[in-house]
């Protein structure tokens, strides 16, 4: 999945109606296992600087990054995003209210990813509602080899860049591209743009 990472002065990205900050939980789990930032970085494949920013709640990690950290620490991904699980039988139809859908924001607030997919599919198949304000850019480093993204513009217009290729998308267009290269999604328009972003990781 894409990581909101404009190089602006870091600000606490968690909003009052967003998901809980995961920094404290990550630090407690790491220290309980007597792991240094370097140890966890090597084990999870996440940079030391990124780990430090997450622990200080200066950035929101993507679900894919949280999935790697959870695997490296041997814990359930839900431990990062919720205070506990409800052990009740699953209903035939589960409805998630809008206020209960976690969201990630870039430090400058111009890009928001609402996590529509269930946590247990993170790192395999993810989908998001992406909203980018005018002038916003959602830039990402290469994901794992073979990762693909599918972006369907629901309103406004966007541009997609993957490696050296760039395409302009209007309402109704869908772009499919490899996400194992540096890539970015931008809003060159004068109004907010929304899209459905689907990330498919290699098996």
- Tens-place pLDDT, residues 38-91: 889 888 888 888 888 888 888 777 777 887 888 888 777 665 665 433 334 556
Pair (95, 138) in one structural domain: no
Q: Which class for 98: exposed (0-12), middle (13-18), buried (19 or more C-beta within 10 A)?
A: exposed
| Two tokens, residue 177 | 């591209």
Assigned domain for 116 exists = no
Instruction: Indicate the SS3 state at residue 28.
Output: helix
Report the domain count for the chain: 2
Radius of gyration of the chain (CA): 17
Pair (87, 143) in one structural domain: no
Give mean pLDDT in consecutive 10-residue pieces for the chain, a chain of 203 residues.
44 41 79 87 88 83 79 72 45 80 86 86 88 95 93 98 96 97 96 97 87
Q: What's the pLDDT score for residue 104? A: 86
**How many whole angstroms separate alpha carbon 65 and alpha carbon 170?**
30
Domain with 182 in it: 124-200
Strand (E) or helix (H) holding 44: helix 37-44
Q: What's the pLDDT score for residue 18? A: 43
Q: What's the pLDDT score for residue 62? A: 76
Pair (128, 193) in one structural domain: yes
**Is residue 78 within 8 Å of residue 85, measured between CB atoms?**
yes
Assigned domain for 136 exists = yes
Neighbours of 56 (CB within 10 A): 14
Pair (147, 71) in one structural domain: no
**Measured distance between the N- and C-terminal CA atoms of the chain, rounded to whole angstroms:** 15
Q: What's the pLDDT score for residue 72? A: 83
Q: What's the pLDDT score for residue 87? A: 38
Pair (68, 134) in one structural domain: no
């Amino acid at each position: 999945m894409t990581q909101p990472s404009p190089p602006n002065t870091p600000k606490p990205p968690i909003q009052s109606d967003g998901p809980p900050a995961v920094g404290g939980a990550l630090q407690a789990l790491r220290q309980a296992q007597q792991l240094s930032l370097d140890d966890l970085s090597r084990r999870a494949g996440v940079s030391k600087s990124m780990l430090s920013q997450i622990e200080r709640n200066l950035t929101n990690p993507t679900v894919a990054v949280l999935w790697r950290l959870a695997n490296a620490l041997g814990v359930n991904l839900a431990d990062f995003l919720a205070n506990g699980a409800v052990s009740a039988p699953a209903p035939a139809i589960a409805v998630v209210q809008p206020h209960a859908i976690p969201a990630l924001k870039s430090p400058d607030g111009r890009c928001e990813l609402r996590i529509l997919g269930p946590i247990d599919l993170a790192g395999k198949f993810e989908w998001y509602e992406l909203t980018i304000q005018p002038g916003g850019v959602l830039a990402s480093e290469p994901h794992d080899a073979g990762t693909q993204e599918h972006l369907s513009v629901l309103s406004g217009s966007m541009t997609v860049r993957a490696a050296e290729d760039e395409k302009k998308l209007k309402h109704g267009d869908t772009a499919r591209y490899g996400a194992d290269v540096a890539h970015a999604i931008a809003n060159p328009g004068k109004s907010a743009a929304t899209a459905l972003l689907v990330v498919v990781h290699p098996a």
